[in-house]
Each structure stands twice: as structure tokens, then as C-alpha cells.
Amino acid sequence: MRVLVIVNTRAGSGGAGLFDFVRALGGVGAEVVLRFSTEDVPLAGLAADAREFDRVVAVGGDGTFSTVLYEVRDSGVPVLPYPAGTANLLSLNLSLPPDPRLLARLTLEQTPVTFDLGELILPGPSGTDSRTGFAMAAGAGFDAAIMQAAQPLKPTLGAAAYLLAAVSNLAPTVSEFELVLDGEHVHTDGIAVLLVNFGRIQFDLTMSRGWDPRDGKLDVVVLRTKNVAELIPVVFAAMLERVVEGVERNPSVDVYTAREIELSAYPPLAMQYDGEIIPTLTPCAAQVLPGAATLIVGPDSPYAS
């Protein structure tokens, strides 16, 4: 079996245990090809011939995973998201264990599962579009501001950088949103719009109640709060959902589902996908790519065969 391992050397933890992982693969006869991404060597280029391999391993964080998954979309080549970033939310959603030797065994033996991907469409100059994929979620507004503020803090604070960035922005920008969801227009306002594929985040909270990364749709979550203090009941309700049956969501959160989305914000807002900051502001469009990703999941995952 041929295994391509793509390592993002700028990821949060730098791939702790990676040597043990590669050695475990080689110890059972797998042919392992290692490639390293740097500032001068982009990730996408390293995955250009991924279809020639039996497995692909993306070593990094959620931004690394989404880049590699988008590059190999619809190929059927199974991808293992090796957690070496700050949050590693996709690995969390797939219930992947942290042990590198167990990850190696899963890479070779576990039955892969197909999932949807999101595709973000950004307008460019002269009418051209640029496209990128996301596995977890993309967003505009408060979440993007958090990601941007957390960037310089992540090397020292890790995942706590996101919390500090959130409480440092107590009065985020409130915008009017114009959404087109599968042709239907929705006019609303708030501090953020999230396009959710996988919805589980830190502390076992969820971004939306009914998210399903295999249903051929994205959840569109609008945070209609006006400041960070109003988010506290939202988070509290999400926590209660885990222990109390039938808890209602806070009315400050609206959730829609759609296959195709157009988003405009007034004033325009910063955007992110899977923790990666986008250098342009809204508007944008997005769509779901049904079954485009093939992933290795943990043995305890609800998606495991």
C-alpha cells in the first residue's frame, strides 16, 4: 500500500509523534512518501498527484485538512486528518485517537467513509472567481474576527487563544445580512453567519442542532446577538442540550439548511474557513459538494462501519 503523508510544518504542534506514526506504517510494509509544506511550498501542490496513492495523510490543523481534502475531492482516495494543529476539530468530529501507532493502524485497516465538503466561492477581479473547500465550517463576522485576533496568540496559548480573542472583542460589528438559500431570500441581521458541515466544536458543544455532514446540505447559522454578552445564553443552551431532552435553542440563533448559499453583509465582514483567514470581505457564495470527501474515522465514531 502506498501512503502519501503531507506535513504542514507551520501547524500548531508540529506533528508530535509523527516519527512513530511513519515507522508504524513502514513496519507493516507500507510504502510511505513524505512531503513537507513551507512558506514557499504550498499544500495544494503537494497533493496534486494524490490519486496515485492508496491513502493520504494530512498532518496539521483544520485548514490543512480542508486544503488537502479539496485537492483530492471526488477521487475516492481515503484521507486521514492527523491532528497536529491548534484545535483539530475535524479529528474530534471523526473520533480519531491521539496515539500515533493506533492512527497508523486505522490508516491501513479502517473502512473509509464518504462525507460532504463545502465549497466557498469568492468574487475576484474582472469577474473571475476563486474557490476553496472547507470540511468543518466557513463564516463571516465575529468568528472570523476571533480567528484573526487569535493568530499571534496560538503559538503560546494554543486553543485558549480563541477564548481570549473572543472576550477581547466585546462589541463585534453588527451587519444586515442578505441571504439567498436555494433561491429563497432571507433578510436578517447579527454578528456572524456560519456555514456548517461538521458541527461539533471544543467542550463538546455544537454549532447547530441538526448538522449532518452526509445529508448533502449545509447548515446556515445566523448569530442574531448584538454583543458578546448575549452569546452567553446561546452557549449555555448548547451545553444543556447534552443533558436535558428537548431544550430549545436561544431565539438569537436562526438555523437554515441549503445546498447553495449567497451571502452579502452591510457593512461587509471579514471571512474565514476552517480557521484560515480570507484576505477579502463579503460578499461570497457557497455550495455543498455531496460525498466529495473520503475519510478515515475512529473505531468509536458514529460513522464507523
**Confidence grade of residue 290 (pLDDT, cut at 50, 70, 90):** very high
Which cell numbers in the block locate residue 243? 443533558
Is 11 a residue whose pLDDT tops 80? no
User: What band does 33 get if pLDDT is binned at 50, 70 and 90?
Assistant: very high
59-87 per-position pLDDT tens digit: 999 999 999 999 999 999 999 999 998 88
CATH 3.20.20.70 is right for the domain spanning 2-110: no
Query: What pLDDT does residue 26 have?
Result: 93
> How is the chain split into domains, by residue range?
2-110, 118-291
Question: Which pTM does this prediction carry?
Answer: 0.89
Q: pLDDT digits over 113-158, tens only? A: 999 999 999 988 777 899 999 999 999 998 888 877 777 666 666 6
Instruction: For residue 106, name the pLDDT band (cuts at 50, 70, 90).
Output: very high
168 pLDDT exceeds 70? no
Q: What is the mean predicted confidence (pLDDT) over 80-103? A: 93
What is the pLDDT averaged over residues 240-265?
73
Find all residues with CB under 8 Å of 262, minimum gap 6, and list them. 178, 179, 180, 283, 284, 285
The mean pLDDT value of the chain amounts to 87
What's the rounded Cα separation, in Å, for the pair 176 and 188?
6
**pLDDT class of 15 with cuts at 50, 70, 90:** low
**Residues 212-249, buried b or exposed e (16+ Cβ, 10 A)?**
bbeeebbbbbbbbbeebeebeebeebbeebeeeeeeeb
Lowest pLDDT segment from 40-49, 191-200, 262-271, 279-288: 40-49
DSSP letter at 167?
H
Selected from 2.60.200.40, 1.10.3720.10, 2.60.120.10, 3.40.50.1980, the CATH number assigned to the domain covering 118-291 reads 2.60.200.40
Residue 241: pLDDT band with limits 50, 70, 90: very low
